[in-house]
Structure 1
Amino acid sequence: MKIKLENVEKTIKGQMIFQNVNVELISGHIYGFVGYNGCGKTMLLRIISNLVKPSEGMISLDEQPYSAIKSMPKIGIVLEKPDFFNELSGLKNLEMLAKIRNEIHTDKIMEAIKKVGLLTQENKKVGKYSLGMRQRLGIAQAIMEDNDILILDEITSGLDEDGVKMIYDILKEEREKGKLIIITSHNKIDIEELCDETFKFNNGTVHAYETD
């Protein structure tokens, strides 16, 4: 599977966020996007996820424009501050999300909860979760759904050392399964440890970035 962005531009209320973005993203790889706060990283993730339309340019999947695709591949997106129902437990949140697709059994949910290290916290209300725990729950949602594409914004935000290692291990495992993974991070170590290729935002443009 290949996602291709050609001359993609996003403008909001007359203000250019980025322009002339030309990137190819291929299954079985982890790609990183870096840049200062407000440069457009999260907006680009939303465009790749088909949640937001670009102002100009084209995005295609295996040579087909997004606009012509009747059934998109399964995409799991985890933003920097995952949005859950605070009054429900972590487990109940995942069960509600699982019902949307109606193809995820309880054992898959519990397997994901265990993998992200929340097995003793699954019945705790999400409103009492720390940022790191919410991040873990977001990762659990993404992997329980067995998505073809994982898009993760500031993936290690709020995580302790053990949590960071856990995320690294999970993403490397998902890459081995042939998933297409896209991340953003302010942490250079995340990028160096995980990414096969990295792109940097600079003055409204995006270009290949060497981490060494």
Structure 2
Amino acid sequence: MALIELINVSKSFKNNPIFTDISVRFEKGYIYGITGNNGSGKSVLFKMICGFIPPDEGSIVIDPDYMELKTKFPKNFGIIIDRPGYDSSKNGFDNLKTLAIIQNLVSDGEIKNAMKIVGLDPNNKQKVKHYSLGMKQKLSLAQAIMENQQVLILDEPFNALDSESVENIRKLLLDYKNNGKTIFITSHNQEDIDLLCDHVLTIDNYKLVKVK
């Protein structure tokens, strides 16, 4: 079966349609790019896939291997949608440690390694409230990968990153794909979409239209 399948999904907010009767299948092991104008519904799509908001009509079916019993939220998903809320009085490692304790799947060493992978110093005691936008983005990326999640849902993962960091994260995502992970990204930079994505869908007139 597909990793994720949307079947006749519609969604509106205050009678303003976002999606109308969309059906699409996403298979494992690819990088999918979702494009569209600002406000077209890219984040809404990701939130529906992750179970954060329900569709008004239709259904979203996730491969049972990625679902916990008695919950609507998929497991093994690493997610950046909007910017996660962190404790600004703690440093980066302590924030990630607090989140890691929820599922208790990774060691301190694995958390630190995730920080190093995205370009953060795990021994930096600087409080998050003093982080630059780029450092906060890297912290979000570290959170999305630190538990070796097999599906990554990344809404604008390159925001505020310098060019060296962008290249680093691009390479990381391609390596992940080559190792069988499935990745969904949005980006305002067409180059990110062109270089990374196996399949591209754009939101147009409340539909998801395949363009690659």
Give the SS at the match of 1:174.
helix
- Give how far 1:68 is off: 9.7
Contact 2:137 2:160 (8 Å CA) reproduced: yes
Cα 1:108–1:67 change in 2 (3 A) is: closer
Counterpart residue number, 1:2: 3
Contact 1:109 1:144 (8 Å CA) reproduced: yes
Rounded Cα–Cα distance in structure 2 between residues aligned with 1:121 and 1:23:
44
The alignment status of 1:163 with 2:165, answered yes or no, reads yes
Counterpart residue number, 1:46: 47
- Give how far 1:67 is off: 9.5
Rounded Cα–Cα distance in structure 1 between residues aligned with 2:120 and 2:142:
9
Rounded Cα–Cα distance in structure 2 between residues aligned with 1:54 and 1:120:
39
The alignment status of 1:104 with 2:106, answered yes or no, reads yes
Provide Cα deviations, 1:41-61, integer angstroms capped at 9, x if missing partner: 001000011111111111112
- Give how far 1:82 is off: 3.3
Provide Cα deviations, 1:74-123, integer angstroms capped at 9, x if missing partner: 11111243322211111110010110111210110011011011116742
Contact 1:148 1:179 (8 Å CA) reproduced: yes
Counterpart code for 1:133: M
Of 90, 93, 102, the match for 1:91: 93
Counterpart residue number, 2:75: 73
Rounded Cα–Cα distance in structure 2 between residues aligned with 1:67 and 1:161:
36
Give the SS at the match of 2:194.
helix
Rounded Cα–Cα distance in structure 2 between residues aligned with 1:208 and 1:120:
40
Counterpart residue number, 2:150: 148
Query: TM-score, normalising length from structure 2?
Result: 0.91
Bigger drift between 126-135 and 78-87 goes to 78-87
Rounded Cα–Cα distance in structure 1 between residues aligned with 2:155 and 2:57:
23
Contact 1:80 1:157 (8 Å CA) reproduced: no
Give the SS at the match of 1:167.
helix
- Give how far 1:37 is off: 0.8
Contact 2:29 2:177 (8 Å CA) reproduced: yes
* Count of paired positions: 208
Contact 1:25 1:180 (8 Å CA) reproduced: no
Of 108, 114, 131, the match for 2:116: 114
Rounded Cα–Cα distance in structure 1 between residues aligned with 2:69 and 2:105:
22
Using the aligned pairs only, state the percent identity: 39
CA RMSD of the aligned region, Å?
2.0
User: Unaligned regions of 5+ residues in structure 1, if any?
Assistant: none
Cα 1:67–1:161 change in 2 (3 A) is: closer
Rounded Cα–Cα distance in structure 2 between residues aligned with 1:34 and 1:127:
31
Contact 1:73 1:148 (8 Å CA) reproduced: no
